A and B are shown apart, each in its own frame.
Chain A
Amino acid sequence: MKKGALIIGDFLGMILEFIPVIIVSIFILFVAFAFLNEKIDTHDIEVFMLSRDLLYSDSCLAFSDDYRVFPMHVDTKKLDDERLGSCFSKSSMGFRITLLDSQGREVKSAKSLTLKQEGYLTKGASVNYPVCKAVPEYKCSKRKELIVYHTENKIQSGFLVIEVVNRVS
């Protein structure tokens, strides 16, 4: 009985001796882990770049004639999945584009999304992207741009909604 109590006493003494060392070790590991996995959040600027790419480049959606390109003017003929896929593809990013008229009614829509990305970017959900919010590896966002769009014989004002899913880690 006495021997057992001695062993327990030794064990407790050892634990007490090691507590400061363990605390310091955990602190070092925590600081090192935070530094080595430091995140540089570029999601917003990447989404901005995507929107400029779509609206400023005639190889994407910008309307052009024989003389010049019209930035922020959307050519509705160019708004299709195939064109989007070839004018902007990024391994970590997928997006859906919806052209709305000035009343907010959908005119045309196109996307460049894999099946997995489509799952994250739920369309018409009451809460914004619930699946995307649940996975910290992905970030989803929506951007609305005031634009002018060209149909066959009309020029109208409207909105371009860009929904983006981006793998951030």
Chain B
Amino acid sequence: MKNKKASLEVQLSVVVKLMFFALVISTFLVMANKIRTSELHDLKVASRDAALAHDAVLASPSEVFVSFGVKQNVDLNVDLDNCIVMAKSKNKVDTAPSNFPCAKNSLKKIDVAFEENKIKISGT
């Protein structure tokens, strides 16, 4: 009877240890999957790039047109009313979107257009 109780205790401690190891390994795998690609970094850079390009167009004393490419996995959007650049992932992997504010000038008109993997910003 005593031996049976002791063996149960040992089994229980082994199960607890295994569960703990499984938790650590699964956390590691989830994190590794998130870090595996540089997607999060791409999104952060793309949103900042576009917002700063928008601000540079705004600063120009005359008419200017800027066009530059963005990475294929990045989906860019600009909310001109609140002036926020939003970068989302085109892939199915759940990466948090990155938002970055741009500058608003109510006395100047800025147009933003998107073509395949290109953003075009013009100011008059």
Contacts of A86 in B (CB 8 A): 105-107
Within 8 Å by CB of B35, from A35, A45, A91, lies A35
The size bracket of the interface on B is: 20 to 34
Q: Is A155 an interface residue (CB 8 A)?
A: no
Contacts of B73 in A (CB 8 A): none
- Shortest distance from the beta carbon of B35 to any chain A beta carbon, whole Å: 5
Interface residues of B in 5-48 (CB under 8 A from A): 13, 17, 20-21, 24, 27-28, 31, 34-35, 40-41, 44-45, 48
Q: Among B41, B44, B48, B108, which residue has the most Cβ atoms of chain A within 10 A? A: B108
Query: For the complex, would chain A's binding face be called helix, strand, loop or mixed by DSSP majority?
Result: helix
Contacts of A50 in B (CB 8 A): 55, 103
Q: Which residues on A are within 8 Å of B, measured CB to CB?
A: 14, 17-18, 21, 24-25, 28-29, 31-32, 35-36, 38, 40, 42, 45-46, 49-50, 52-53, 56-60, 62, 69, 71, 86-93
Q: Which residues on B are within 8 Å of A, measured CB to CB?
A: 13, 17, 20-21, 24, 27-28, 31, 34-35, 40-41, 44-45, 48, 52, 55-56, 58-62, 82-84, 101-108
